[in-house]
Amino acid sequence: MLLCRVIRDECANKTVHEDDASARNKPICDEALKRFRGEVEPALDRLVQLLPPDHDLIRQSREEAARCLNSIAAQFTWADDFVGSEKLHEDAVKLAGNTATAIEIQGGLAKIRKMARHQRVLGALKPISSAPSLYTINGFGFTVYGNSDYDEETRSYVTTHYFVALFIPIFPIARYRVIHQPGGKYSFLGKLPLRAVDRWHLWIAIIAIAAVIIGSAINSDKPLNSSPARFGNNSPTSFPTTSSPSYTPGSAPSSRNSQLTSLKAQIDSGRSRHAVLEKQLQPVVDELATLSAQMKSLRSELEALDESQRRGESMDIENYNSEVETHNDLLARYRALFSANRADLETLDNLEKQDSALVNQYNALLKR
């Protein structure tokens, strides 16, 4: 198609092949892609409607269109848009279909993918002038928790910077991509925005702290409420109060009541955050359970086949190898999914442990 050659040549000739010309090259690449989407693709669609799918003219046209798109994709690298170039290379491979042109494009795609991965990992980072504080004293201060989005090339991962009290994460401050160094030290590569679940955690923590302060102020001016009933089964599902406050001999002093109020707020905050995170992770947990069940079923079948072979019975080797391959594919998917959500799953587990510890503190305080 002549149109493909015109668009391809114009884009290549206008693009400035210099390292500092990305800002000038981006509009040129965008315009070439716009022409491809608006002129080449509609023309190719009309041709497909007129001729049989296996017609030589259609195959030749698709290959020519794929070469055009591949050329535009290559120019995108001079606009420092390796992620966009990767996507266009992938589109060009699909367009070329099962042809020699597709194989040729895939060779270039392999090189682009490495650079696109590097851009996705480091390109979203905001530079920082200095590393954040990781200092704690008696369990109060700042530290990092979590490990997600590991990048093998840079040996880095994303973690969350928290203010902690008794080493319990109270509220998140920021997320960073870090490299874990020997001796428990970190190299901070850059800063990332907080996730939705982190923002929920932050607001819940602020509300809980405000509730503690207001509750303490009110309790300091009023007679003490009667103590809440002890929680059954180590799970404080409600916090009963009385409508008519009264003081009885031996009841808890104001500081004790403030501690109970503070613990109640921490428990409420943790459970609210747990509910949000649990809802977010439910599809992940369900898929992990499904993959685990599928692998368990396959392992049982493979063990049965191994046992049959040990008894000297004939075995379909091709079927056996196919099931082994299927099992390993499921295992790879399971590990990848777990690794991608490891930090959130660990946070969910830590919230459950935190809830149990706070409930124990609450009940112990009631006994005093």
* H-helix segments, 77-227: 82-96, 100-122, 196-221
pTM for this predicted structure: 0.44
DSSP 119: H
More confidently predicted of 103 and 124: 103
Quick check: 247 and 331 in contact, CB under 8 A? no
Number of domains into which the chain is organized: 3
173, 194, 215: which is the final residue of a domain? 194
pLDDT of residue 221: 47
Residue 166: left (phi > 0), alpha (psi -120 to 50), or beta? Answer: left
Domain assignment present for 68: yes
Domain boundary among 58, 88, 122: 122
Q: How many CA atoms lie within 13 A of 22 on its CB side?
A: 8
When pLDDT is cut at 50, 70 and 90, the band that residue 144 belongs to is confident
Of 361, 344, 355, nearest in space to 148 by CA: 344
Q: Does residue 128 sit within a domain?
A: no
The answer to the question of residue 142 being in a domain is yes
The span from the CA of 192 to the CA of 177, in Å, is 7
Contact 88, 76 (CB under 8 A): yes
> What is the distance between the alpha carbons of residues 295 and 289, in angstroms, rounded to a whole number?
10
The CB density around residue 177, as the number of other CB atoms within 10 Å, is 21
Verify that 176 and 218 share a domain, yes or no: no
d(CA 197, CA 281): 11
Q: Do residue 275 and residue 332 come from a single domain? A: yes
Q: Is residue 127 part of a domain?
A: no
How many angstroms separate the first and last alpha carbons of the chain?
Answer: 87
Helices 22-35, 56-76: crossing angle, 10 deg rounding: 160
Q: Among candidates 340, 342, 209, which has minimal Cα distance to 266? A: 209
pLDDT at position 216: 66
Domain-embedded: residue 88: yes
Q: Are 95 and 168 in a shared domain?
A: no
Share of residues in the chain with pLDDT > 70 (%):
88
Integer angstrom CA distances of residue 15 from 70, 158, 172, 358: 15, 36, 44, 62
Question: For residue 37, what is the DSSP state?
Answer: I
DSSP letter (8 states) at residue 152: T
Specify if 130 maps to a domain: no
Q: 226 pLDDT exceeds 50?
A: no
Same-domain check for residues 217 and 363: yes
Average pLDDT over residues 289-295: 86
Domain that holds residue 254: 202-241+250-367
Domain identity same for 162 and 308: no
Three-state DSSP state, 224: coil
Based on the fold, state whether residues 46 and 175 are members of the same structural domain: no
Same-domain pairing of 117 and 145 = no
Domain for residue 131, yes or no?
A: no
Question: For the residues 38-60, what does the mean pLDDT come to?
Answer: 86
Together in a domain, 108 and 151: no
63 and 155 assigned to the same domain: no
Are 26 and 162 found together in one domain? no
Strand partners, 99: none
How far apart, in whole angstroms, are the C-alpha atoms of residue 11 and residue 33? Answer: 9
Evaluate if residue 239 carries a pLDDT over 90.
no
Q: Place 68 in a pLDDT band, splitting at 50, 70 and 90.
A: very high
Max avg pLDDT among 25-39, 208-222, 313-327: 25-39
Q: Are 206 and 345 within one domain?
A: yes
Is 129 within a domain?
A: no
User: Could you say which of 97, 122, 147 is where a domain stops?
Assistant: 122
CA angle 219, 203, 126 (to 5 degrees): 145
With beta carbons less than 8 A apart as the criterion, state whether 255 and 247 touch: no
Cα torsion through 15, 17, 23, 28, rounded to 10: 10
Please state the rounded mean pLDDT for residues 126-148: 84
Question: pLDDT by residue (tens digit) across 27-46?
Answer: 999 999 999 999 888 988 88
Distance CA 258, CA 291 (A): 47
Can you tell me the distance from the alpha carbon of 275 to that of 352, in angstroms, rounded to the nearest whole number?
11
| Domain shared by 144 and 217, yes or no | no
Which conformational region is residue 126 in: left (phi greater than 0), alpha (psi within -120 to 50 degrees), or beta?
A: beta
